[in-house]
Amino acid sequence: MDSKVLMELADTYGARNYKPLPVVIDKAEGVWVFDVEGNKYLDFLSCYSAVSHGHRHQALVDAAIRQIGRVTVTSRAFHNSELGPFMKELCEFTGMEMALPMNSGAEAVETAIKAVRKWAYVVKGVPKYDAEIIVCSDNFHGRTTTVVSFSTEELYKEAFGPFTPGFKVIPFGDADALEKAITPNTAAFLVEPIQGEAGVVLPPDGFLARAAEICRSNNVLFVADEIQTGFGRTGRRFAVEHEGVKPDLMCLGKALGGGVYPVSAVVGSRDVLGLFVPGEHGSTFGGNPVACAVGRAALKVMLDEDLTGKSAENGQYLIEKLASIKSKHIKQIRGRGLFVGMVLHPEAGGARRFCEALMKRGLLCKETHDNVIRFAPPLVITREQIDWAISEVTEVMTTL
Ligand SMILES: *Cc1c(COP(=O)(O)O)cnc(C)c1O
């Protein structure tokens, strides 16, 4: 079947909750993907960091196949031989004491919400059920009904109420507003260190450090959603490290699955995650042997290949080169590591047409909201590949 037929099938039988670029990917390797007609594209989005290791990294494919040949799914009713080592290695990698594995990012966020609420009632002494969680405007933490309850994006929630109470929104980057919003009932502050879906939005310098300090002095937990920014994406192992912050909890996902399997987790202190008792929370597939084996391999590759260091170096290069493009459409280049947003002027006519033009030239990226193009290639990308991408972007931004 050719691309046209396949897209028609998806359109006919699939709910229309996405609006993909008109390319049907059929194969992939490293930073490259191939459509059904055999055309080759450089993946400059890497599934929002889920493919940070590149497509089908050999060590990850090997780990998955090896595990599939032994045991795949057991349920948490029993121990499995990959689970303990995975959680130990994840704790060592993140500098945390405990881990709770789930599957999707949204589930990790839901798990963190439950954990901080329980902490508020059991440890902090907040009256049941008055616990409040402070979040930021333009946040993205997933798509479940509770998580969209505290979104500020109308499209994400407009049709889906009634909403879960217990959340307060402050402007992203406003530490004074955080301080003011805290009450004796505040359980936690939940924040993306850099907002990805909002368009790679960096907070003002010092915000994360000050927010962490405000949380500490008010007995409020600091929860970092590092699902997109974690594991080297921003040039540090975790984006909170840019300001020396150690969160109480971190939500992890995407790259933890090495681009081959959905793996998520919450990691954090024993004081908080240690409060769960058997039966209170769980997941059929969370912590299954394949997920654990893949997660372990993903962590090992990040260390062995210094993906964080590569992201820092190549990211700086990419940002400098993009900033030197002279185009009337570009308003700003912002980002950290290989996590970059190109903000266009409103007069540019929207980011979509540029993404479509780049696709035709063999570079895959995607607009976020109307006027931002997000560049987030696999962290294994080489200098030559980046140079090629920059020349394509330059061509499109200066001729369209
Ligand atoms: C992608 C993402 C999520 C949700 O992850 P899913 O696996 O899609 O549920 C949550 N938070 C952030 C910051 C994300 O980028």
For every residue of 23-46, DSSP letters joined together read --EEEEEBTEEEETT--EEEESSG
Counting ligand 1 atoms within 8 A of each CB, the residue from 46, 228, 261 with the most, and so the one to mutate, is 228
Per-residue pLDDT band for 6 (boundaries 50, 70, 90) equals: very high
Residue nearest atom 8 in ligand 1 by C-alpha distance: 105
Burial class (CB in 10 A: 0-12, 13-18, 19+), 325: middle
pLDDT of residue 43: 98
Spatial contact of 203 and 173, defined as CB atoms under 8 Å apart: yes
* Segment holding 234, helix H or strand E: none
Whole-number Å distance, alpha carbon 283 to ligand 1 midpoint, is 17
E strands of the chain, at which residues?
Answer: 25-29, 32-35, 40-43, 98-102, 132-136, 167-170, 186-191, 221-225, 249-252, 264-268, 330-335, 340-344, 363-364, 366-368, 372-375
Beta bridge partners of 126: none
Is 370 marked active-site?
no
- Is the pTM higher than 0.85? The answer reads yes
Nearest residue (by CA) to ligand 1, atom 11, is: 141
The pLDDT of residue 393 is 98
- Mark whether 254 is an active-site residue: yes
Q: pLDDT value at position 369?
A: 87
Residue 247, pLDDT score: 98
| Cα radius of gyration rounded to whole Å, the chain | 21
Rounded average pLDDT over 191-203: 97
Per cent of the chain over pLDDT 90 is 98
For ligand 1, residues with CB inside 6 Å are 48, 104-106, 109, 140-142, 192, 196, 225, 227-228, 253
pLDDT tens digits, 316-348: 999 999 999 999 999 999 999 999 999 999 999
Q: Which tokens is 127 given? A: 């009256």
Mean pLDDT of 361-390: 96
As a whole number, mean pLDDT of residues 119-125 equals 98
Whether 220 and 186 have beta carbons less than 8 Å apart is answered as yes
Q: Contacts for 243-246 with beta carbons within 8 Å, 24 or more apart?
A: 243/205, 243/206, 243/207, 243/208, 243/209, 243/212, 244/209, 245/193, 245/208, 245/209, 245/212, 246/95, 246/212
> What 8-state DSSP symbol labels residue 396?
H
Taken in order of first residue, the domains within the chain and their CATH numbers are 3-56+306-399 (3.90.1150.10), 58-304 (3.40.640.10)
Q: Is 27 marked active-site?
A: no
Atom of ligand 1 nearest to the CA of 142: 4
- The pLDDT score that the predictor gives to residue 236 is 98
Contact between residue 288 and residue 80 where contact means Cβ atoms under 8 Å apart:
yes
Cβ–Cβ under 8 Å, residues 324 and 349: no
Strand, coil or helix: 320: helix
CA 70 to ligand 1 center in whole angstroms: 30
What DSSP line would sit under 108-148, residue for residue? HHHHHHHHHHHHIIIII-PPTT--EEEEETT----SSHHHH
Between the CA of 227 and the centroid of ligand 1 the distance, in Å, is: 6
Give yes or no for residue 184 having a pLDDT over 90.
yes
User: In the structure, what pLDDT confidence band is assigned to residue 357 with cuts at 50, 70 and 90?
Assistant: very high
Two structure tokens written together for 191: 């924040």
Residues in the chain: 400
* pLDDT recorded at residue 47: 95
Closest to 290 in 3D by CA, of 31, 63, 35, 136:
63
| Catalytic residue (choose from 140, 189, 222, 238) | 140
The encoded tokens of residue 275 equal: 């409060």
